[in-house]
Copies of this chain bind each other. A is one copy, B any other.
């Protein structure tokens, strides 16, 4: 099948999110281990929900798409379409259910490090 082309369906562009039970620690950590993605996570932690473009990412649109996809497939964020935009949100509750305290520790660590770095 040569790229689902100019045709029927495309109901509203469905996006696959892993079930909480399918979220793997290694993947979550890998998703968070990239500076760009870590900044996305911090931005979402601060703003609750944001479109891809609203976060000031210093990269091309395709690279941004890539990073958001990694985060979604790892189970770290949800994405849904809202008109022409795509809204991203942290899966706080799900992550906390599966790995209690991990997200908070991560966010706190990121903040701590940012503080350390800034006061150089």
Chain A residues in contact with chain B, CB under 8 A?
A: 21, 24-27, 29-30, 32-35, 38, 98-102, 104-106, 108-110, 112-113, 116
> Contact between A34 and B25 (Cβ–Cβ < 8 Å)?
no
User: 12 A-B pairs, CB-CB below 8 angstroms?
Assistant: A25-B110, A26-B35, A27-B33, A30-B30, A98-B113, A99-B105, A99-B108, A101-B104, A101-B109, A102-B106, A104-B105, A105-B106
B30, B38, B110, B113: the one contacting A33 at CB < 8 Å is B30
> Contact between A99 and B116 (Cβ–Cβ < 8 Å)?
no
- Known contacts A30-B30, A30-B33, A33-B29; is A24 also within 8 Å of B100 by CB? no
